[in-house]
Amino acid sequence: MQFELTKQFLSDVSHAVSEKDSLFIIKNVNELHPADIAEIMDYVNLQEAQYIYQLLDEEQAADVLVEIDEDVRDKFLASLSAKEIAESIENMDSDDATDLIQDLPEKKQEEVLSEIKDESQSSDITDLLNYEEDSAGGIMAKEFVAANINWTVKEALKMLRKQVEDVDNVFTIYVIDNKAKLKGTLSLKKFLYASDKTLIKDLYRPDPIHVDALIPSEEVASIMEKYELVVIPVVNDVGMLIGRITIDDALEVIKEEAEKDYQMASGISEKVESSDNVWVLSRARLPWLLIGLTGGILGAYVIGSFEDEIRKFPIMASFIPLILAMGGNVGVQSSAIIVQSLANNSLEIDSVAKKLIKELMVALVNGVICSLIALVFCFLTDITPLLALTIGVALISVFLYAGLFGTFIPLVLNRYKIDPALATGPFITTTNDVIGLLLYFLIGWAIYFP
């Protein structure tokens, strides 16, 4: 039943466009869900996309513009006139319209805004443009349904019928006082029970969970997640209801955060997708590679300063990869656990000291186990007891150091309001490489070289 995009369908669409077969498009594309049409637009070329877009009815066209992938949209919008964009924007929710306008070049933004005929829509957008993109205000919509606390159910119903026209999903009716201050909520369910003369005052639920327009969107998402809300009201600094955020926007924030953390841990510095071009992909990956390169060169210095010892004991070189692999893995593991706990707000109570001690214990347990296995390997080969001792001690030291460093750095970054995910991936592994090598050769210098 659900639409599935196939190569065959895409080639049929291309064929229809080249033949100017508008009937095929109207019958097979326009009837689809906007999210599906948007998916098609991601794959066809610009001319084809334009042809399809012209054939969509107004509301469908607006929904497709909202759903389409941002990269594709930027190119596509550049091919539309300010007037065409403005027409689509009139059919959008204010939050989607604002997102779209934000993506336009500054000059075109003004042109589009001046072309919007629906004045309440253009003033809503101008208003929303004032908020930071990653704040509650930046993701809220101005469309909501509100009833005055002094109305009766009958009066409310009459007024709501008008408001409801504008709002796609009602979810909750907000209750406000004469000064538009948020007083509470009224579930639609209650309307199925209440008699016409009941006062909203006697029906509403006071003190709803709400957010201030200026808090970060991440915080909004975690509040909605914690309290399992599908919609949350947004108030301004004097408590007036000014908008609402729905779960799909919060979900987007959650996904983006998770993807960002994942990409940072994997050493990718911009938000990229495999469909981006070679230059974008290369550029996003280069910064961490350069950090790794620097670490590798520093490592070369560390090892280079023990050149004579290596000439004498070349077998010391053999265990460099082992030391590096262990230090890297332990560091990434510890930092990942901290980063994830911070993201889930599940760390606020324990003290830093307690976390470090726990990590020290984990590092010790795993360090001892891995060292013992390494020692067994040493005894099975012709490695001297002194070298085996060096490797064992070095491994445990690297485990302890990497565990502590991996735990400590994200906590410090978080304390100074820097994204702790920065600490994961190449940064931790690179530092651990250099320090790990230093520890290994110093322990070798103390135990094995004499």
Instruction: Name which position in 8, 227, 238, 450 contacts its own copies (CB under 8 A).
Output: 227
Contact 245, 141 (CB under 8 A): yes
Write phi, then psi, for 98 (nearest 5 degrees).
-65, -45
302's CB contacts (< 8 A; 6+ apart) are: 434, 437, 438, 441
Determine, following the binding rule CB under 8 A, whether residue 254 of this chain makes contact with its own copies. yes
Hey, which residues does 211 pair with through a beta bridge? Answer: 234
Determine, following the binding rule CB under 8 A, whether residue 233 of this chain makes contact with its own copies. no
Q: Interface residues for its own copies in 182-211 (CB under 8 A)?
A: 188-189, 192-193, 207, 209-210
Instruction: Name which position in 62, 85, 149, 265 contacts its own copies (CB under 8 A).
Output: 265
Determine, following the binding rule CB under 8 A, whether residue 397 of this chain makes contact with its own copies. no
Q: Interface residues for its own copies in 364-383 (CB under 8 A)?
A: 365-366, 369-370, 373-374, 377
Nearest to its own copies of 76, 171 (CB atom): 171
Closest Cα to residue 327, out of 352, 344, 302, 305?
302
- How many whole angstroms separate alpha carbon 75 and alpha carbon 346? 42
Determine, following the binding rule CB under 8 A, whether residue 35 of this chain makes contact with its own copies. yes
Q: How far is the CB of 21 from its own copies (least distance, A)?
A: 22
418's CB contacts (< 8 A; 6+ apart) are: none
Instruction: Name which position in 54, 79, 120, 318 contacts its own copies (CB under 8 A).
Output: 318
Contact 303, 310 (CB under 8 A): yes
Nearest to its own copies of 45, 274 (CB atom): 274
Contact 371, 395 (CB under 8 A): yes
- Count of residues in contact with its own copies, rule CB under 8 A: 117
Instruction: Name which position in 186, 437, 439, 443 contacts its own copies (CB under 8 A).
Output: 437
- How many whole angstroms separate alpha carbon 70 and alpha carbon 249? 15
Q: Interface residues for its own copies in 165-184 (CB under 8 A)?
A: 169-171
Instruction: Name which position in 107, 238, 304, 416 contacts its own copies (CB under 8 A).
Output: 304
Q: How far is the CB of 296 from its own copies (least distance, A)?
A: 3
Determine, following the binding rule CB under 8 A, whether residue 33 of this chain makes contact with its own copies. yes
- How many whole angstroms separate alpha carbon 388 and alpha carbon 107? 69
Give the tokens for residue 243: 């908008």
